[in-house]
């Protein structure tokens, strides 16, 4: 598993201009936790940033210098590279609400679909 770039082009998302979202997910090989994090990230961002985003997946076993350069101390770690400010979430990304709040994305209220 090396760097992988995914662009979402499905239905319109909740963000007015999601095309500028660049996300970098650091994982540790093909472990179950890494696979869950990748799957969860794609599912969440396909839904909420469907107008376009870039998801860079970095395997820290294959690219340890990138991990060191970006001070990655645990994996999986997802970093919102842009737009600023940069944010980090550590774990398998199973808590969608926590991830959306951390990255400053709209979280719909339960039941009515409004922010």
CATH code at 88?
3.40.30.10
Cβ-proximal residues to 12 (8 Å cutoff; 6+ apart), any chain? 50, 51
Residue 114 lies in a domain: no
pLDDT tens digits, one per residue of 53-95: 999 999 999 999 999 999 999 999 999 999 989 999 999 999 9
**Residue 20: predicted pLDDT:** 82
Number of domains in the chain: 1
Six token digits for residue 27 = 């994982």
Residue 26 lies in a domain: yes
Residue 77 lies in a domain: yes
**Residue 16: predicted pLDDT:** 41
The domain in which residue 28 lies consists of: 4-102
**Residue 107: predicted pLDDT:** 61
**Residue 1: predicted pLDDT:** 45
8-35 mean pLDDT? 72
């Amino acid at each position: 598993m090396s760097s992988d770039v995914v662009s979402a082009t499905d239905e319109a998302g909740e963000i007015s201009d999601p095309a500028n979202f660049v996300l970098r997910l650091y994982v540790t090989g093909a472990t179950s936790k890494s696979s869950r994090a990748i799957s969860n990230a794609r599912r969440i961002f396909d839904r909420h940033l469907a107008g376009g985003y870039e998801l860079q997946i970095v395997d820290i076993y294959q690219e340890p210098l990138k991990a060191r350069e970006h001070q990655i101390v645990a994996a999986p770690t997802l970093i919102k590279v842009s737009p600023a400010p940069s944010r980090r979430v550590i774990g398998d990304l199973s808590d969608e609400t926590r991830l959306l709040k951390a990255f400053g994305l709209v979280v719909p209220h339960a039941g009515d679909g409004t922010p």
